[in-house]
């Protein structure tokens, strides 16, 4: 059989529709045709993109609670990269690169939900433990989703919308503009990388703008505890653009409620009480706006996010129930490997079972290092495998249906049930906290990876990839992402504080909102400390109100929890997206579509470059003798000059995105 590199890249008419009786789907690369697929080129570039986007995504998720989707930027880069070689990369090689690179966002999503809590709890976590938790969860996610492939991808063809897989496939099959798009993406990445690196690493201009050099603003902050903040960096601008104006408005609304309503109300009521009010440690009248926010309002945000996650589980009960039966049926009657047709060939079931056994053994050895009883070890292993198995099918079902993975709710459920079990058997304190967070980390990573992997498999099915090839290289992607994510979290833990500011600690803060929620839950179960149930309850009521109004409660709750300085530039990005979108509608046709696509590519570049610039700055801070004053402008300490300079430069980024999005392609 001859190897054919470039068939016609046109999707069949029945690609997105259920098949009629007797009808079959023939992908772009039919089963009888062979292309270069799992080559050294595709694997090595997949590893490279996976590592780079893992580092960027870890930083972005820890900073603002929203990760960056890697698949679309990587697909653009893969298509552009194909033009650099004498033998142009094939469609199937690009699928391999995207699948491996896409593991970055999935592993990071699982890791940042839990692992930063291990460091904020000061549990003396070893870097290898961090990497292992990511690796074990990622491998289980891949292993448990392979038997589900045939059902979700082939048998239910046209019955699940697969929104993200559709977007990836459309990028692949319209790749004739890939070179231009890749250059634009790399340009925006470099611009934001340089901008954010200098803004966050050295004293060149102010990163945060509060306008308190204006007397009336300073007076409002002092008398009413109403403080405005704006983090003027490119990464958050790009994030707001990708989120869009409706979500950005909702996100920022949560911050407005927290900082301009809840903080002043707490100060007004508490200022009449001469003694500290729990959980505060000093009288409210002596607190700054930032102290009131971290001491009281932040717990309201925790309750709001936790309730949003629980509501997500409740709304997904039908999906969860159906997923369990699908998963059990797939493992009971799976015949992966029996069908010899290339486009329907999975890794053999015996290999899957061996992989699960080896993963279970590794997890058991990991737990056994803590010198706990056989009962505790057995329960820890059982909970990990059962939750990972069932939640993998839930994630696959949810992604195939809505492109939304209920990771927060599933992880909270894991934390709650695991805590109850271990407390029942007498395991509490720091060891109990570590056990619960390790289990939650593995489970969360497994369900995030499984949801992302089913997307890869569906995109591969549409274009004609070999499933077994996708499945094999996915393990390489997971290994790469686990190492990169684990080590990035370790590095950031040395240079930043996670979740909340510790008095006397000079390190800057990364909000890590999801991990902070998990930390609050596990501390509530595993320690004897009092719990701020009233503040949690207020947050829960706010979430219920948002649900009744038909708005996304999780986005609003994240806005409450995150500092206002992070939500306001997201709103700026949302408005920029809105204006570019209006311009594209006005132009219409091919010109309008080009403006819209270029705007998204530029925003993706801002996110990737800004995150990488921030991580590079964090790495420099680990070097002995490093000081932010190594590069300092004469006007840096003068807010009257430095803050307006930051505003002008940020506006300049907005103008750059606007002008570049309007530019006609050559």
The pLDDT value given to residue 457: 93
Structure tokens at 566: 């992070």
Q: Taking 50 as the threshold, does the pLDDT of residue 612 lie above it?
A: yes
List alpha helices for 158-208, DSSP H: 163-173, 178-201
List alpha helices for 258-344, DSSP H: 263-270, 289-292, 298-315, 317-333
Interval 294-349: pLDDT, tens: 888 988 987 888 788 778 767 766 666 665 566 566 555 554 444 468 888 888 88
Burial 487-525 (b: 16+ CB within 10 A, else e): bbbbbbbebbbbbeeeeeeeeebbbbbbbbbbbbbbebb
In the block, residue with structure tokens 């499945």:
471
Q: Do 156 and 569 contact (CB within 8 A), yes or no? A: no
The pLDDT value given to residue 515: 81
Least confident of 260-269, 398-407, 512-521, 559-568: 398-407
Q: What is the pTM of this model?
A: 0.81
As a whole number of angstroms, the distance between CA 197 and CA 611 comes to 9
Q: Which of 20-24, 163-167, 518-522, 571-575 has the highest mean pLDDT?
A: 571-575
pLDDT band at 478 (very low <50, low <70, confident <90, very high): very high
The pLDDT value given to residue 650: 95
Interval 212-242: pLDDT, tens: 889 898 898 888 888 898 989 898 898 889 8
The pLDDT value given to residue 467: 93
User: Does the bond joining 279 to the residue before it have cis omega, within 30 degrees of 0?
Assistant: yes
| 3-class secondary structure, 205 | coil
The pLDDT value given to residue 530: 66
Q: Do 296 and 556 contact (CB within 8 A), yes or no? A: no
Strand partners, 208: 231
The pLDDT value given to residue 2: 47
Distances (CA, A) of 648 to 232, 412, 599, 643, 653: 10, 42, 21, 9, 9
The pLDDT value given to residue 320: 60
Interval 55-110: pLDDT, tens: 988 888 888 776 667 777 888 888 887 777 888 888 899 999 999 998 998 899 88
Comparing 274 with 660, the larger pLDDT belongs to: 660
The pLDDT value given to residue 579: 95
Comparing 439 with 290, the larger pLDDT belongs to: 439
Q: Taking 60 as the threshold, does the pLDDT of residue 377 lie above it?
A: yes
As a whole number of angstroms, the distance between CA 345 and CA 557 comes to 44
3-state helix, strand, coil in the chain (%, to 5): 70, 0, 25
- Count the Cβ atoms, other than its own, within 10 Å of residue 39: 16
Share of the chain above pLDDT 70, in %: 91
Q: Do 497 and 120 contact (CB within 8 A), yes or no? A: yes
The pLDDT value given to residue 328: 60
Run of H or E including 209 = strand 208-209
pLDDT band at 529 (very low <50, low <70, confident <90, very high): low
Comparing 377 with 11, the larger pLDDT belongs to: 377
Phi, psi dihedrals of residue 506, rounded to the nearest 5°:
-80, -5
Structure tokens at 541: 């009521």
**What rounded mean pLDDT belongs to the chain?**
85
Closest CA relative to residue 146, chosen from 406, 478, 385, 474:
474
Structure tokens at 303: 């309750």
List alpha helices for 403-427, DSSP H: 407-424
In the block, residue with structure tokens 């082939």:
154
């Amino acid at each position: 059989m001859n190897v054919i590199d470039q068939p016609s890249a046109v999707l069949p008419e029945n690609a997105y529709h259920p098949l009629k009786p007797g009808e079959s789907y023939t992908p772009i690369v039919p089963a009888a045709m062979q292309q270069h697929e799992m080559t050294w080129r595709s694997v090595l570039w997949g590893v490279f993109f996976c590592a780079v986007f893992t580092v960027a995504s870890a930083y972005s998720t820890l900073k603002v609670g929203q990760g960056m989707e890697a698949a679309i930027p990587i697909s653009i880069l893969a298509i552009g990269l194909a033009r650099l070689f004498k033998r142009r990369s094939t469609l199937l090689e690009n699928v391999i690169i995207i699948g491996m690179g896409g593991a970055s966002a999935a592993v990071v999503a699982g890791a940042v939900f839990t692992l930063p809590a291990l460091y904020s709890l000061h549990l003396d976590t070893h870097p290898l433990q961090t990497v292992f938790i990511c690796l074990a969860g990622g491998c289980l996610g891949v292993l448990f989703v392979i038997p589900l492939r045939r059902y979700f991808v082939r048998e239910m063809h046209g019955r699940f919308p697969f929104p993200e897989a559709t977007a990836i496939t459309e990028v692949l099959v319209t790749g004739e503009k890939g070179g231009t798009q890749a250059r634009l993406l790399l340009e925006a990445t470099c611009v934001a990388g340089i901008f954010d690196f200098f803004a966050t690493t050295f004293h060149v201009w102010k990163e945060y703008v509060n306008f308190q050099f204006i007397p009336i603003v300073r007076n409002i902050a002092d008398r009413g505890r109403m403080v405005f903040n704006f983090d003027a960096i490119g990464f958050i601008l790009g994030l707001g653009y990708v989120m869009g104006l409706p979500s950005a408005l909702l996100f920022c609304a949560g911050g407005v409620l927290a900082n301009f309503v809840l903080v002043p109300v707490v100060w007004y009521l508490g200022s009449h009480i001469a003694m500290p009010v729990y959980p505060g440690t000093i009288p409210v009248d002596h607190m700054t706006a930032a102290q009131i926010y971290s001491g009281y309002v932040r717990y309201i945000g925790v309750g709001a996010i936790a309730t949003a996650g629980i509501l997500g589980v409740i709304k997904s009960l039908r999906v969860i129930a159906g997923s369990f039966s699908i998963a059990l049926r797939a493992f009971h009657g799976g015949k992966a490997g029996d069908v010899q047709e290339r486009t329907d060939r999975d890794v053999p079931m015996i290999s899957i079972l061996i992989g699960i056994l080896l993963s279970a053994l590794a997890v058991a050895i990991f737990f056994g290092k803590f010198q706990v009883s056989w009962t505790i070890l057995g329960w820890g292993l059982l909970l990990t495998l059962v939750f990972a198995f069932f939640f993998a099918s839930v994630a696959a079902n949810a992604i195939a249906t809505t492109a939304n993975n209920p990771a927060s709710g599933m992880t909270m459920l894991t934390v709650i049930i695991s805590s109850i079990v271990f407390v029942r058997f007498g395991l509490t304190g720091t060891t109990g906290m570590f056990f619960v967070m390790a289990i939650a980390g593995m489970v969360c990573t497994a369900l995030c990876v499984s949801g992302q992997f089913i997307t890869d498999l569906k995109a591969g099915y549409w274009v004609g990839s070999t499933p077994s090839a996708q499945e094999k290289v996915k393990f390489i992607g997971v290994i790469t992402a686990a190492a990169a994510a684990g080590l990035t979290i370790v590095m950031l833990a040395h240079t930043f504080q996670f979740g909340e500011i510790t008095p006397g600690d000079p390190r800057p803060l990364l909000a890590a909102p999801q991990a902070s929620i998990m930390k609050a839950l596990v501390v509530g179960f595993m320690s004897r400390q009092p719990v701020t149930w009233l503040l949690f309850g207020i947050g829960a009521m706010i979430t219920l109100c948002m649900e009744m109004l038909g708005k996304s409660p999780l986005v609003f709750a994240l806005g409450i929890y995150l500092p206002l300085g992070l939500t306001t530039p997201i709103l700026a990005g949302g408005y920029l997206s809105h204006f570019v979108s209006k311009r594209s509608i006005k132009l219409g046709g091919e010109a309008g579509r080009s403006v819209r696509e270029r705007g998204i590519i530029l925003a993706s570049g801002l996110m990737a470059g800004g995150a990488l610039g921030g991580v590079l700055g964090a790495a420099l801070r680990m070097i002995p003798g490093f000081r932010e004053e190594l590069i300092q402008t004469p006007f840096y300490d003068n807010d009257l000059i430095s803050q307006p300079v930051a505003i002008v430069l940020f506006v300049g980024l907005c103008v750059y995105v606007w002008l570049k999005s309007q530019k006609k392609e050559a």
